[in-house]
Amino acid sequence: MATWGSCGSGAAFNQPQWMQIQFNEEKPEFNKLPTKTGHRSLTRSISQSSTDSLSSGCGESSEEESSPRDKLQRNSKGLADFCIKNIDQADFGRREIEVAQQEMPALMNLRKRAEEEKPLSGAKVVGCTHITAQTAVLIETLVALGAQCRWVACNIFSTQNAVAAAVVEGGVPVFAWKGESEDDFWWCIDRSVCADAWQPNMILDDGGDLTHWIYKKYPSLLKRIRGIVEESVTGVFRLYQLSKAGKLCVPAMNVNDSVTKQKFDNLYCCRESILDGLKRTTDVMFGGKQVLVCGYGEVGKGCCSALKALGAVVYVTEVDPICALQACMDGFRVLKLSEVIRQADMVITCTGNKNVVVREHLDRMKNGCIVCNMGHSNTEIDLVSLHTSELKWERVRPQVDHIIWPDGKRIVLLAEGRLLNLSCSTVPSFVLSITATTQALALIELFNAPEGRYKQDVYLLPKKMDEYVASLHLATFDAHLSELSDDQAKYLGISKNGPFKPSYYRY
Ligand SMILES: NC(=O)c1ccc[n+]([C@@H]2O[C@H](COP(=O)([O-])OP(=O)(O)OC[C@H]3O[C@@H](n4cnc5c(N)ncnc54)[C@H](O)[C@@H]3O)[C@@H](O)[C@H]2O)c1
């Protein structure tokens, strides 16, 4: 364990042996991957549609509709400490996990490298995330690295029931099923925390609900917790609020703002999934369409570049002159929403803000305009203003509503203003692998940090670890990194082994 002792923010960072980067050795393993086409068709995500198709593959439709809370189930080893839809689906779930593993090479690599050292030996991780095949790969990696885990869903709709069954069959208690009620949701969180002879010492959260529950119901547990790892904007915001109020009593790692999350999940994930979500729901053709993208941050940049590549005419709205200038330099016309709203065929919000598209804009849109959100939750489009007596709502497909104005004009609203890609498309496992690897490393770092390195505050992952996450993924592309000579390293004033950039570098 001593190998972890010298790594920290700003401190000298000695890599454990399994963290050494050896691309040549990794390459043959990745050459075994099937073709990209094969991956794409098999990849699962947290989308509603994919969980639906998964369910039908597992014969869930024939199940009786009793609540999992009323059933006593056991896995094949006699474990009864879990609550999921149906343990009999474990074999289907295992196949899903195996497919995801192929697109999550870094986690698999981490398993192999750190399996002997077991840097999470003694860690008791309670996790609250989407329960999908990709999360299962993360959970099983944590177990391979020595952790004991209990898991719960952070979302009532996104659980892949068969995957949950496979994870339970593997010995990890899971409390989650697709279609939980609000009451079930909190009951599951409570069960995940509260177990006989088991108390968590690490929290992995996505959204902050688990952390909130422990703060509210089990504050005494916090004395044992060595660290919280939080992935979401909302959860991180809550942690900073606690910290500001002097109420954060545990060190926390903000994974959301890691370079490896922001630059990959927000940018590349959205670049790939925006088209998928729009196609699946509307069959729209992009060439020549006039598309208005609100917000030119990472998500907006990803969406714009994908749409431009397919021949769409893209307009951008921005409030920040720097991002607006970036949009201009990338070849997009920056206008006010009111200036372009009448001619838009599609309007996509990516701002993280609220009420960006309001009734006044919706009233002025042309017939057939598609409206959707890739940004924050369901706040960006003012939906309340669309629930008025003169407007008729017509569900034309799952996740597709036509809103009909008195003169017959129809607006096509996707996913009721929730995130289009998470609701209507798949999200690439490879991108999730980057975030999941960051989460795993954040847990390892917080768990092994010597007393005093992290105070009761919110931290970013040390840059060296961000670089390590990236390096673990490079082998997939058979990328060969150049090395600095001693002289060059001295000239730049950095170590030959990184970190290669100062913390303020923006990439
Ligand atoms: N759909 C997904 O898969 C996904 C992935 C990652 C993040 N997100 C979410 O997307 C949102 C945006 O993320 P980001 O990384 O691009 O953030 P960001 O802060 O980099 O970009 C948002 C941009 O919107 C601009 N903006 C704010 N209010 C505006 C307004 N009223 N009109 C026009 N522009 C406005 C800001 O100036 C900023 O440049 C966040 O809520 C984030 O949580 C979604």
Q: What is the CATH number of the domain that holds 167?
A: 3.40.50.1480
Note the pLDDT of residue 449: 96
Question: Please, which pLDDT band fits residue 24 given cuts at 50, 70 and 90?
Answer: very low
Asked if residue 162 lies in contact with residue 93, where contact means CB atoms within 8 angstroms, the answer is yes
Residue 279 phi/psi, 5° resolution?
-65, -50
Mean pLDDT of 454-464: 95
pLDDT at 347: 98
Neighbours of 473 (CB within 10 A): 21
Domain check: are 195 and 329 in the same one?
A: no
385 and 275 belong to one structural domain: yes
253/269 Cα distance (integer angstroms): 22
Give the model confidence (pLDDT) of 313-369 as tens digits: 999 999 999 999 999 999 999 999 999 999 999 999 999 999 999 999 999 999 999
DSSP state of 370: E
Indicate whether residue 296 lines ligand 1 (CB < 6 A). Answer: yes
Task: Assess whether pLDDT exceeds 80 at residue 119.
Answer: yes
What does the pLDDT read at residue 113? 87
149 and 37 fall within a common domain: yes
Does residue 482 lie within any of the structural domains? no
441 sits in which H/E element = helix 429-448
pLDDT at 45 exceeding the cut of 50: no
Residues 296 and 434 in one domain: no
Residue 302 marked ligand-binding: yes
**Does residue 203 sit within a domain?**
yes
Q: What percent of the chain has pLDDT over 90?
A: 82
Q: CA–CA separation, 353 vs 365, rounded Å?
A: 21
Q: Is the shortest distance between the CB of 324 and ligand 1 below 6 Å?
A: no
pLDDT over 90 at 35, yes or no: no
* Whole-prediction pTM: 0.83
Q: 493 lies in a domain? A: no
Going by DSSP bridges, is the β-strand pair 400-404/346-349 parallel, antiparallel, or unpaired?
unpaired
Q: Based on the domain organization, do 257 and 378 belong to the same domain?
A: no
Residues 332, 240 within the same domain: no
Contact 146, 119 (CB under 8 A): yes
Among 152, 217, 156, 157, CA closest to 191: 152
CA distances to 168, 305, 345, 443 from 333, in Å: 51, 13, 16, 43
Q: Are residues 188 and 256 in the same domain?
A: yes
| Residue after which a domain boundary falls, among 397, 423, 449 | 423
297 marked among binding-site residues: yes
Identify whether 467 is part of a domain.
no
Lowest mean pLDDT, pick from 126-130, 258-262, 487-491 = 258-262
The amino acid occupying position 91 is: D
CA of 418 to the centre of ligand 1 (A): 14
Return the H-helix or E-strand segment holding 435. helix 429-448
Ligand 1 centroid to residue 461 C-alpha, Å: 22
For the segment 154-161, the average pLDDT, to the nearest whole number, is 91
User: Residue 237 C-alpha to ligand 1 middle, in angstroms?
Assistant: 15
Same domain, 408 and 309: yes
The two tokens of residue 66 are 């009793």
Is 227 labelled as part of a ligand binding site?
no
Q: Is 207 in the pocket of ligand 1 (CB under 6 A)?
A: no
- The predicted pLDDT at position 15 comes to 60
User: Distance (Å, rounded) from C-alpha 229 to C-alpha 250?
Assistant: 10
With bands split at pLDDT 50, 70 and 90, how would you rate the model's confidence at 115? confident
Please check whether residues 73 and 128 belong to one and the same domain: yes
Measured from the Cβ of residue 286, the count of other Cβ atoms closer than 10 Å reads 20
Q: What is the CATH number of the domain that holds 370?
A: 3.40.50.720
For residue 374, the ligand 1 atom closest to its alpha carbon is 1
Same structural domain, 381 and 238:
no
pLDDT of res. 66: 87
What is the DSSP code string of 303-366? Answer: HHHHHHHTT-EEEEE-S-HHHHHHHHHTT-EE--HHHHGGG-SEEEE-SS-SSSB-HHHHHHSP
Take residue 338 and report the two structure tokens written for it. 């009111």
Q: pLDDT band for 427, please (50, 70, 90 cuts).
A: confident
Taking the centre of ligand 1 as the mean of its atom positions, its distance from the CA of residue 301, in whole angstroms, is 10
The residues, any chain, with a CB within 8 Å of residue 144's CB and separated by 6 or more, are 111, 114, 115
Residue 34 predicted with pLDDT over 80: no
Same domain, 388 and 444: no
Residue 420 pLDDT > 90, yes or no? yes
Structural domain of 141: 4-53+66-261+426-458
pLDDT (0 to 100) of residue 16: 64
In this structure, which amino acid lies at residue 93? G
Residue 496 inside a domain? The answer is: no
Asked whether residue 132 is marked as a ligand-binding residue, the answer is yes
Residue with CA at minimum distance from ligand 1 atom 15: 298
Give CA–CA dist 317/294, Å, rounded: 5
298 pocket-lining for ligand 1 (C-beta < 6 Å): yes
pLDDT of amino acid 235: 94
Of the ranges 108-117, 249-258, 296-305, which one carries the lowest mean pLDDT score?
A: 108-117
294 touches ligand 1 (CB under 6 Å): yes
Place of tokens 């840059």: 463
Does any ligand 1 atom lie closer than 6 A to the CB of residue 356? yes
pLDDT value of position 65:
73
183-219, pLDDT tens digit by residue? 999 999 999 998 999 999 999 999 999 999 999 999 9
Query: Is residue 96 included in any domain, yes or no?
Result: yes
Structural domains of the chain, count: 2
Q: What are phi and psi of 59, to 5 degrees?
A: 70, 25
301 is in an annotated binding site: yes
Question: Do residues 80 and 71 touch, judged by C-beta distance below 8 A?
Answer: no
Cα-based angle 376, 326, 311 (whole degrees, multiple of 5): 80
Q: Are residues 369 and 228 in the same domain?
A: no
Average pLDDT of the chain is 89
Q: What is the DSSP secondary structure assignment for residue 451, as one 8-state letter? A: T
Structure tokens at 504: 């303020």
Last residue of a domain, one of 415, 437, 458: 458
Q: Does 475 map to a domain? A: no
State residue 2's pLDDT score: 33
Q: Is 208 within the bounds of a domain?
A: yes
CA pair distance 251, 489, nearest whole angstrom: 33
State mean pLDDT over 6-17: 45
